[in-house]
Amino acid sequence: MKLAGKVAIVTGSGRGIGRAIAVAFALEGAKVTVTARTKHEIEVAADEIRRQGGAAIAIAADVSREADVEAVVSATVSQFGQIDILVNNAAINLPTIETVDMNPEDWRRVIDVNLTGPFLCARAVLPHMVSRHTGKIINISSIGGRRGARGRGPYRAAKAGLINFTETLAAETGRSGINVNCICPGGVDTEMIRQISRGSPSGQLMRPEEIAAVALFLASDEGSAITGTSIDAFGPSNPLFN
């Protein structure tokens, strides 16, 4: 098993990409903390892992709240004894809204979850990783982090910031044996994309499991030579095809 003996925290793992990552990690031997804001969703995800013979706990949390993040980290260490992997996947988005019509509260909420959340989570787990001189942090950005687009200001700004934060964190932690990388998915069949597209996403979409496979590679020893890198996993939405 590629992650035997490892402990992972996966944020936003009640559904979509995060859930697929949590399940993939558990199937490869990791003990997983499943966390998101919706308690029912994460409990279902944790039950799925346990039914397949894996180990998981479900902790409801909002990653934009420092106290919630600290509670997730504390519960993980208490239950599993260590933290080896962090996947910053939790994110929110808005329907198309141009800047002139943007409510500042909506702007702040997207930035808080999509960019400040990964900062808070990384800061909370780093002492545990540094003390053991090992760790993997994987940030989930987006094809939207590579360029701006009309009506997508806060989401794309946060995702672009997450790419830069990945490089910064890798530079700061490399000597401590920690790898920090980023995945930029293109269109993936998730509840979020259906919400923002009002149930009719355009184009062919990838499966969440395809992104989970990239995360598994980065989390395993197979990805040990890679850090400070953002991997574009655009699938059919690759601009090269248009």
Q: Which fold has domain 7-237?
A: Rossmann fold (3.40.50)
Question: Residue 210 class from Cβ within 10 Å (0-12 exposed, 13-18 middle, 19+ buried)?
Answer: middle
Task: Residue 90: name the closest of 107, 112, 73 by CA.
Answer: 112
Q: How many CB atoms lie within 10 A of CB 90?
A: 24
Q: Is 58 helix (H, G, I), strand (E, B) or coil?
A: strand
Query: What is the structure's pLDDT at 200?
Result: 47
Asked whether the beta carbons of 46 and 68 are under 8 A apart, the reply is: no
The angle formed by the CA atoms of residues 1, 214 and 216, to the nearest 5 degrees, is 25
Task: Residue 237: name the closest of 215, 207, 204, 199 by CA.
Answer: 204
In DSSP terms, which residues pair with 223 in a beta bridge? none
Query: What is the structure's pLDDT at 201?
Result: 54
Q: How far is CA 119 from the centre of its chain?
A: 12
Asked whether the beta carbons of 21 and 28 are under 8 A apart, the reply is: no
Query: What is the structure's pLDDT at 11?
Result: 98
The span from the CA of 17 to the CA of 131, in Å, is 30
Asked whether the beta carbons of 239 and 232 are under 8 A apart, the reply is: no
Q: Please give the positions annotated as active site.
A: 155
Indicate the DSSP class of residue 206: B
Asked whether the beta carbons of 159 and 114 are under 8 A apart, the reply is: yes
The span from the CA of 178 to the CA of 84, in Å, is 9
The span from the CA of 79 to the CA of 75, in Å, is 6
Query: What is the structure's pLDDT at 202?
Result: 56
Site of tokens 């960019």 = 115
Kindly calculate the radius of gyration of the chain based on its CA atoms and give it in whole angstroms. 17
Q: Where exactly are the structural domains of the chain? A: 7-237
Mean pLDDT by 10 residues, the chain (242 residues): 98 97 98 98 98 98 98 98 98 94 97 98 98 98 95 96 98 98 95 64 83 98 97 93 82
Q: CA of 32: how far to CAs of 25, 55, 241, 242, in Å?
A: 7, 6, 37, 38
